[in-house]
Amino acid sequence: MQLDIKPASDYPVTDLFRFLNLSFENYLIPIQFNINQFLGMLRKDGIDLNTSRVLLVDDEPSGTALIARRGWTSRLAAMGVMKEARGKKAGSWLMEQLIKEARARNDREMTLEVIEQNEPAVRLYKRSNFQTIRRLIGFAENEKSPNTVRPASHLQEMDLREMGRLILQHGLPDLPWQFSGETIALLNPPARAYRNGQAYIAISDPSTENVVIWSLLVETAARGQGLAAEMLQDVMVTFPNKQWHVPAILPEELGFVFERAGFQREELSQWQMRLML
């Protein structure tokens, strides 16, 4: 079996989209992108197609590795091997090449998130010397738990770029890539951001049935007063009859806010990992 890699930028975007979906066939959880989701991920996550790679097995595209970059940090945004090449150590070989290339670029660290229940992938990254930073969890609104009804406050809509700036100022310094201020600042309407005093929230399009909570923030000096839970209740009253969801990229130590608001923790979790280069 002959292994090689080529820059993702050598391929049309439509081919990359197809390769990525094939790489996640029969995955632990169903992952299939449509073209708009794929293009949105490339933009929002800062994926660099020049440093992203397509895995070739005997000259045939057989896997994909998408690399996002900010400054001296690279993130493995997605990596998968097509089913025909699995179980042949192609993934381990590809990971070795990605790390070598990151060091050659003088990157200082590489980060990733991996589903905790995906034991083969976790073992692969640990063998590559990635260290665990924290567990990441997700939440969904618990329909069985009655919400505390309170009058809807006057939420003020704000620029998503300003929300990103505030996260950089008040948020954890090592937030997962998708929750970071830089990522939130790159969201565009119909996503929305709102403020109420010193509390802030960023959500996906509130006109749809399913709404994702992308960020929930309280200024440092105002914490411990229940403002985060109040903001959650306010936005849910403002946009009633929605299904609210937090993807499994929330640091576990912040989960208490959603538990207090009546959200149910989901079974799926991830490890946030980092390799110092």
Write out pLDDT tens, residues 73-105.
999 999 999 999 998 999 999 999 999 999 999
Task: Let me know if residue 126 belongs to a domain.
Answer: no
Same domain assignment for residues 152 and 261: yes
Domain of residue 27, CATH code? 3.40.630.30
**Residue 155 is encoded by which pair of tokens?**
């939420």
Classify residue 83: in a domain, yes or no.
yes
Domain contains 70: yes
- The structure's pTM equals 0.93
* 143 and 268 together in one domain: yes
In a domain, 129, yes or no: no
Q: Judge whether residue 146 has pLDDT over 50.
A: no
Do 143 and 99 fall within a single domain? no
Which domain-ending residue is among 87, 107, 127?
A: 107
pLDDT at 157: 97
Q: Are residues 150 and 66 in the same domain?
A: no
Residues 156 and 259 in one domain: yes
Judge if 102 and 195 occupy the same domain. no
Assigned domain for 114 exists? no
Same domain, 146 and 262: yes
Average pLDDT over residues 128-153: 78
* Count of domains for the chain: 2
Q: Is residue 113 part of a domain?
A: no
Quick check: 150 pLDDT over 60? Answer: no
- Same domain for 148 and 255? yes
Give me the amino acid identity at 128: S
Domain that holds residue 232: 138-273
pLDDT tens digits along 7-63: 999 999 999 999 999 999 988 887 889 999 999 999 999 999 999 999 999 999 999
The residues, any chain, with a CB within 8 Å of residue 156's CB and separated by 6 or more, are 194, 195, 196
**Residues 6 or more apart from 119 whose CB is under 8 A from it?**
none
DSSP E strands: which ranges in 106-209? Answer: 109-115, 131-141, 156-158, 192-196, 199-203
